[in-house]
Chains A and B, each alone.
Chain A
Amino acid sequence: MIALKLWGTRGSLATPGLDTVKYGGNTACVEVRGQDGTLLILDAGTGIRLLSTALDPNLTEIHLLLTHLHMDHIQGLGFFGPLYNPRTHVHIWGPASHIVRLSARLGRYMSPPLFPVRLMELPCKLTIHEIPHTPFTIGEFTIMGEFICHPGPTVGYRITSQSKSIAYIPDHEPALGTTYPLSVDWLSGYKIANNVDLLIHDAQYSPEEYPHHIGWGHSSLHDACHYANAVQAARMLPFHYDPRHNDAFMDNLMYRAQSEVALNFDLIPAYEGHVYHV
């Protein structure tokens, strides 16, 4: 069994407030725990600050997997407690690029004037890994990262433990440039999302908003549902909510998706702070 806790579900910009408490206001961060206790953290949005406070302070090794380096996915990095613990070995994984190395790209944020502490001055033992082309293993998890359709180097992850699998694709525009959906072999991210037990997928826009944001790298909830159908996911958690969408808007959007799209999977609202099991 895989357990996931959502510490941040919002996209683009943290959106705290009374009208976002249900779906959440922190930006992307997901805790993934395996049966044997292996811990993965997906993305370092503002949700990672609270996650830090819930971690065992004696944890000696931790793996943080970044999908990409847009601000809403790394803004919490400087407030991730284990980075300041000299007894902790922190592994940060992220999309490879031989044009600018991952460490250099991360260092652009983790350095003055954007942040007072430099990446390489952090007290923890820090190892930065660029995602390989082939699957890799962390504890009980086998992980596959693949570039997906979003501006700049961006990966989605498929995480497998025994017979259970999740796909994490928080920023994704598979509908870009085509009559959607295409045949599955031409579908961005298909390899990581195919037949997955749980898909966490970008659902930033309403169907009416998406045409005004083509090429921005995100999906409407309705397109996310078509995608989940196409990849034959068993369940989907919509994710990366637009900062303009409050709880009432999201309730209505979820209702509309349920009634307007023929769903071949379970569409489950993603609420910040909730735990989901696979």
Chain B
Amino acid sequence: MTYPKELEVILARHLASSLAIPMFLINPQADLIYFNTLAERILGQRYDETGVLTYAEWSTLMTFRDKDGNKLVEHNNPFLVSLRTEKLINQQLWLETINQNKQCLTISCIPLLGQTYHFFGVLVIVESQVEAE
């Protein structure tokens, strides 16, 4: 899934690859088009090995739950809500990865809205709170 990226997306990746904070970059089609080294640790996958992941692919690698344990699906998954609404979202949630790793995370989904109001996707910044046993 290679195609020329817009500047806003390129700069978002550069920022993510330069910082010691886990970050995911998602395009408007909900493909996970980049994640940095610290995000690799959360996901348990290496970007160099996975490349771009479609929603169907990354949603099998990560399961989100609210504080009561309810699974967050398409209509309340904050990544997708931010994509749909083009709004900033801050939320605490639980993440289960395919290798049974369970973590409490605080995430900020930042919509990439260009100066001409063209929407390029969402940059997700993650703060890892507690690593579950």
Q: Does A212 contact B (CB under 8 A)?
A: no
Please choose the segment from A28-36, A143-151, A261-269 that sits at the chain B interface, where 4 or more of its residues have CB less than 8 A away: A143-151
**A96-B115, A96-B116 known; A147 vs B17 contact (CB < 8 Å):** no
CB pair A177–B15 under 8 Å, yes or no, is yes
- With both chains docked as a complex, state the minimum distance between the C-beta of A67 and any C-beta of chain B, in angstroms: 13
**Which residues of chain B (4-35) have a CB below 8 Å from chain A?**
4-8, 10-11, 13-15, 17-18
CB pair A146–B3 under 8 Å, yes or no, is no
Interface size in chain A (residues, C-beta < 8 A): 23
Task: Report how far A130 CA is from B18 CA in the complex, Å.
Answer: 32
What secondary structure prevails in chain A residues at the interface with B? loop
Interface size class of B (residues with CB under 8 A): 10 to 19
CB pair A183–B2 under 8 Å, yes or no, is yes
Encode contact with A along B34-59: 1 for CB under 8 Å, 0 otherwise.
Answer: 00000000000000000000000000
What are 6 inter-chain pairs, A to B, with CB distance below 8 A? A97-B116, A147-B7, A177-B15, A186-B10, A188-B10, A190-B4
Q: Does B75 contact A (CB under 8 A)?
A: no
CB pair B7–A186 under 8 Å, yes or no, is no
- The total of interchain contacts (Cβ-Cβ below 8 angstroms) comes to 46
CB pair A177–B115 under 8 Å, yes or no, is no
**Which residues of chain A (208-261) have a CB below 8 Å from chain B?**
none
Contacts of A147 in B (CB 8 A): 6-8, 114
CB pair A185–B2 under 8 Å, yes or no, is yes
- A178 CB contact (under 8 Å) in B8, B14, B115, B118: B14
